[in-house]
Chain A
Amino acid sequence: MFKFIAGRLVQSIFVMLFVGAIAFTLFQFVGDPVEQMVGQDTTQAERDELRERLGLNDPLIVQFARFAGNMATGDFGFSYQHKRPVSQLIAERLPATMELAGLSIILALMVGIPLGVYTGLHRYGVASKVIMTLSLIGVSLPTFLIGILFIYLFSVILGWLPSFGRGEVVNLGGWTTGFLTLSGWKAIILPAITLALFQMTLVMRLVRAEMLEVMRTDYIKFARARGISNRAVQFRHALKNTLVPVITIIGLQLGTVIAFAIITETVFQWPGMGRLFLQGIRAVDIPIMSAYLVMIAFFFVIINLIVDILYYVVDPRLRVDRAGGAN
């Protein structure tokens, strides 16, 4: 167990260093930070002095070490565009994105997994075919178009739900939440569903494929030959075996949802990190871009670590093989 976790941690650190290197390269080669920070009338001497003060004349490796250290302590530098610390900007917008992404992923899993199991078990049923066709349409409709259609239908025509913003929020010690007010709930419904739809179809299709795969195995056939009831075969034997790959999918989806939030946040003018990032891209605001990159990588690493530990719990084969022999 220890070796296994230790190995994973080492890998995670490598991933973070790799992504950190990309973020650092952005700083090095895209635009000149000094140019971004000074005005037109700054003299060359002042510029040189600023350059020296920022440590831009140090050897690359020293700069990278400083950069990594800053990142690790949550110091992402100043935004060129907003002229404020990036960490502050992110802290303000993080709750909005997390609430949206969290609600969406719960929606996606709660609907996607049961539908996937159902269509996997009743492959030739009429309902399955309808669901599969609908899911294909869901995959083919771009997220932003669904958002626009929702706004047109529920905000413009019906006027039931707001088309932008988070509604009223309550500040809980630095974390702003929309879940405590009615307007907050109203505001999150459309963006959350928009964001969830695409993930839902993906989760459903993957669970279905996995289910079909497992139902073909010898041990399912053998279980049937022993007279085990259909229910037990499907929900005990098959479902548990589909669990392993499904955990991976969910892990990957969490990261995807956060990134896909960029689009949803833009359509619904949701004040989250995604919009911040997009504005950063448009304005080539490197500190924001690299901070976002590092943050997403960090999420990914954490999620992956959790997924690996879950594997360990679900699959007894790993417990023995990787921990170096239990018997």
Chain B
Amino acid sequence: MANTELTSKTATPLTRSVDGFKRALNSDLFYSFKHSPVTIVAMAVTLLIIFTSVFANLVAPHNPFDVATMNLLDSELPPVWAEMGDPKYLLGTDNLGRDVFSTILYGSRVSLFVGFTSVVLSMVIGIALGLIAGYKGGLIDAFIMRVAEIQLSFPTILVALLINGVMRGVLPPSQHAELAVLVLVLSIGLSNWVQFARTVRASTLVERNKEYVLAARLIGVKPLFIMIRHVLPNVMGPILVIATLGLASAVLTEATLSFLGVGVPPTEPSLGTLINVGSDYLFSGSWWITIFPGAALAILVLAVNLVGDWLRDALNPKLR
């Protein structure tokens, strides 16, 4: 924390960081990670998907958005192993002749981007409001938590749809496509803060009455400082869990909104958009256009959920 430069006076920085690394390797968390093969696989899959989608332009065999390379003659080709498959297109092509594998890579990038940014948004709002509500109490607390309760009774997807609808009403139609991603991030982010706020508040209420916080108050440490320096580090565990599980649910919400036609436009598709577009071709037998993006989405969400689930159990001292 604030004393890093100070601590280095009594012990060299090198031994201290080695010390910290050893501590991490020896921690209960890492131990439980090592002994959970499912989690190791899930973590690896998550990292792999994140990596390939971030570097989609390097990894993908084709650039699906380059009109020059698109060939309508290649449209609706089945995957390689099917009878009509073309070795150029691993997972087949869609109705416009785009490589399905490449669109999935680019689509995951959009999905993950929306997921991450909206989780960060809900996290920032949720933590701030939760800390204030929990630490201050009284009327502010009552107000914030009532609003949260009301919002919580409306499922995320509905709130996101509403916010989405309102913003589309406010913005001029010409900008809908340009601002679609922003609108999505805002609507998902604003619909998910409650979880964070409630958890942070509940933990803050517990921590606030612990004697170490009383001790800090006795010293005269200011409330804002107490919240940031004392309370926040102690509620990071549950926040991390919610953020991980929240990433999975944000990716799902994004896909759902895009599927419902109020998300990312087909010009720059996310996984949800791909599934939506592809589902029209399901009846004509071109199942790969929708099934593969669907599988990619499911694997991504499942992997993140598995990591989040493990984290929750590993950080819950009661379950040990």
Contacts and interface: CB of A to CB of B under 8 A. Distances in A.
Q: Which of B161, B261, B262, B294 has the most CB of A within 10 A?
A: B161
A140 interface: yes
A148 B275 contact: yes
Contacts of B37: none
Nearest to A15: B150
A30 B298 contact: no
Interface in B124-152: 146-147, 150, 152
Nearest to B306: A136
Interface string B281-299: 0110001001000100110
B302 interface: yes
Contact of A140 (B154, B164, B282, B301): B301
A137 interface: yes
Contacts of A324: none
Interface string B223-256: 0000000000000000000000000100010011
B282 A142 contact: no
B162 A137 contact: no
B168 A284 contact: yes
A144 interface: yes
A141 interface: yes
B170 A252 contact: no
Contact of B166 (A30, A136, A297): A30
Interface string B262-294: 100000000010010001001100010010001
Contacts of B84: none
Interface string A147-162: 0110110001000000
B294 A280 contact: no
B170 A278 contact: no
A136 B309 contact: yes
B91 to A, nearest CB: 17
Interface in A267-305: 277-278, 280-282, 284, 286, 289, 293, 296-297, 300, 304
Contacts of B275: 144-145, 148
A295 to B, nearest CB: 11
A169 interface: no
Contacts of A148: 275, 279, 282, 290, 294
Contact of A144 (B166, B168, B256, B318): B256
A28 to B, nearest CB: 12
B196 interface: no
Contacts of A216: 318
B87 interface: no
A256 B248 contact: no
B15 interface: no
A148 B256 CA distance: 12
B287 to A, nearest CB: 7
B213 interface: no
Contacts, number: 110
B157 interface: yes
A260 interface: yes
Contacts of B309: 136
Contact of B164 (A260, A281, A297): A281
A262 interface: yes
B305 interface: yes
B45 to A, nearest CB: 12
Interface-central residue, A140, A152, A284, A300, by most chain B CB under 10 Å: A140
A31 interface: yes
B306 A286 contact: no
Given A30-B170, A141-B298, A262-B157, A280 B165 contact: yes
From B150, B272, B298, residue with most partner A Cβ within 10 Å? B150
Contacts of A156: 282-283
A113 to B, nearest CB: 20
Contact of B302 (A137, A144, A278, A284): A137
Given A140-B302, A142-B259, 7 more contacts: A18-B146, A26-B169, A31-B169, A136-B306, A142-B256, A144-B255, A256-B155
Interface of A: 14-15, 18-19, 26, 29-31, 136-137, 139-145, 148-149, 151-152, 156, 212, 216, 252, 255-256, 259-260, 262-263, 266, 277-278, 280-282, 284, 286, 289, 293, 296-297, 300, 304
15 contacts: A15-B146, A29-B170, A136-B306, A140-B252, A140-B302, A141-B298, A148-B294, A252-B153, A260-B155, A281-B161, A281-B168, A282-B261, A284-B165, A284-B168, A296-B154
List the 8 closest pairs (A to B, CB-CB), nearest first. A30-B169, A140-B302, A281-B165, A259-B158, A140-B301, A284-B169, A259-B155, A300-B153
